[in-house]
Amino acid sequence: MKLLLLLGLVALAQCFHKVPLRKGKSLRQALREHGLLERYLRDHPYNPASKYYASGGVSSEPLENYMDNEYFGTITIGTPPQEFSVLFDTGSSNLWVPSVYCSSTSCANHNRFNPSASSSFVSTSQSVEIAYGTGSMTGILGYDTVNVAGINVANQIFGLAETEPGDFFYYMPFDGILGLAFPSISSSGATPVFDNMMSEGLVAQDLFSVYLSNNGQSGSFVLFGGVDSSYTTNGISWIPLSAETYWQISMDSMNLNGEAVACTSGCQAIVDTGTSLLAVPNNALSIIQSTFGANSNGEISCSVVSSLPDVVFYINGQAFPVPPSAYVIQSNGYCTLGFEGIDIPTQSGEIWILGDIFIRQYYVIFDRANNMVGLSPLS
């Protein structure tokens, strides 16, 4: 049995342009060294239970890491397909892309959807307006076939941007946004893409998982319908959601050197792939900056970075550390804490956003079937 498995792996590796499997190296390592891992994950998504499903599957969407600030992938909309790069955002729920109706400067240098060029497009008279922490859009809603990670979602409702005020989206490397949060926060009541995947039986399991690479490296992905066990060897901690809106959880505290310094009486947190930093209430930001001896811009001396402690988030009674190499941003000789202030008014009280700085330390499973978030340490 072991010999057959080995021969199968060698044959598979040879299919990828004669990738050599040197002694002591796994197939994953060999493919990564030759720049083929991303393609392998896309074409051969991991799904240990797929043989038990009559329909639906597991599909991997490769993400491009843009300077550790944004992670985006490619989708198509329409017949024939029109291609767009979108930010896969667990902090919002709508899909939208620029349209040919948009005259804003931000639309001019991005791909724009042309409904008249798609034979499967269905128009509506319904408008949509979305405001993010940075940037906003207004437009109209329509229906068309959307392909994500090789999954065709028929009659998917999406926004066609007519205005993108300001210049934020002008400078973004992606065209639009694909929201992966819950329908309850979807603008204009539009059904999110993943909800349609689930209802149409297009995924093997009602969950998706995310890996975000470090230091601008490749290999990031969203895996729809499954979990890649090679990223969960350190075990999975499951955290129940506190609200089915964002991927919102209850956090116990944020600790340094064993002492709670913020969120000391508990708070709410959002696990958000669409936020680059750790976004915290402004009162907490002041405490954090003071504790680290940072100025009001969050700058600290680069000479002290190596001696800084881990920032430890206690969630559901468990510790989730983030090392200084992750939460300190070093650029052009300056060192800045990767925290930003943001006040989000909710019925749940103050909200923290655990953005990409946090997510890069963990393989994250977003489980809609059980309304839980799974975190598996990557180191």
For 108-157, what is each residue's pLDDT tens digit? 999 999 999 999 999 999 999 999 877 899 999 999 999 999 999 999 99
CATH number at residue 264: 2.40.70.10
> Which pLDDT does position 91 carry in this prediction?
96
In this prediction, residues 5-17 reach a mean pLDDT of 37
pLDDT for res 22? 36
Domain limit, last residue, from 172, 195, 224: 224
% of the chain residues with pLDDT over 70 = 84
Total Cβ atoms within 10 A of residue 374: 20
Tell me, yes or no, whether 275 and 197 share the same domain: no
Helix (H, G, I), strand (E, B) or coil at 240: strand
Q: With a cut of 60, say whether residue 166 has pLDDT above it.
A: yes
**11: in domain:** no
How far apart CA 374 and CA 318 sit, in angstroms, is 12
Clarify whether residues 100 and 202 are in a common domain. yes
What integer pLDDT is reported at residue 33 of this predicted model?
Answer: 55
- Shared domain for 168 and 245, answered yes or no, is no
H helices of the chain, in order, are 2-15, 27-33, 37-43, 105-108, 193-199, 282-292, 324-327, 356-359
Domain span holding position 81? 59-224
Q: Which residues contact 198 (CB under 8 A, 6 or more apart)?
A: 206, 368
Tens-place pLDDT, residues 32-77: 555 554 544 444 443 333 332 334 799 999 999 999 999 999 999 9
Catalytic residue positions?
89, 272
Q: CA-to-CA distance for 14 and 301, rounded, in angstroms? A: 50
Residues 141 and 171 in one domain: yes
Q: What is the average per-residue pLDDT within 223-249?
A: 97
Boundary-marking domain end, from 224, 244, 275? 224
Q: What are the pLDDT digits (tens) for 203-231?
A: 999 999 999 999 999 999 999 999 999 99
- 12 vs 308, residue with greater confidence: 308
Q: How many helices (H) does the chain have, and how many strands (E)?
A: 8, 25
Q: 239 and 178 in one domain?
A: no
Instruction: Name the region of 147 (left: φ>0; alpha: ψ -120 to 50; beta: rest).
Output: beta
Q: Is residue 189 part of a domain?
A: yes
Domain boundary among 224, 247, 264: 224
Q: What is the mean pLDDT of residues 261-283?
A: 96
**Is residue 24 in a domain?**
no
Same domain, 218 and 250: no
Give the whole-angstrom CA distance, residue 342 versus residue 357.
16
Clarify whether residues 151 and 240 are in a common domain. Answer: no
Q: What pLDDT does residue 2 have?
A: 34
Residue 90 has pLDDT above 50, yes or no: yes
Domain count, the chain: 2
Let me know whether 330 and 186 are in one domain. Answer: no
Does residue 31 fall inside a structural domain?
no
pLDDT for residue 367 is more than 70: yes
Q: Which residues contact 210 (CB under 8 A, 6 or more apart)?
A: 88, 90, 221, 222, 223, 273, 359, 363, 364, 366
For residue 134, the model assigns a pLDDT of: 79
Q: Is residue 342 part of a domain?
A: yes
Q: Are residues 241 and 169 in the same domain?
A: no
DSSP character at residue 218: S
Give the per-residue pLDDT at 266: 94
Closest alpha carbon to 374 in 303, 305, 318, 309: 318
pTM: predicted TM-score of the whole model, two decimal places: 0.84
User: Which H, E and C letters describe 305-367, residue by residue?
Assistant: HHHCCCEEEEECCEEEEECHHHHEEEECCEEEECEEECCCCCCCCCEEEECHHHHCCEEEEEE
Domain membership of residue 25 (yes or no) is no
Return d(Cα 202, Cα 135) in angstroms, integer. 32
112 lies in the same domain as 172: yes
Report the distance separating Cα 267 and Cα 272, nearest Å: 16
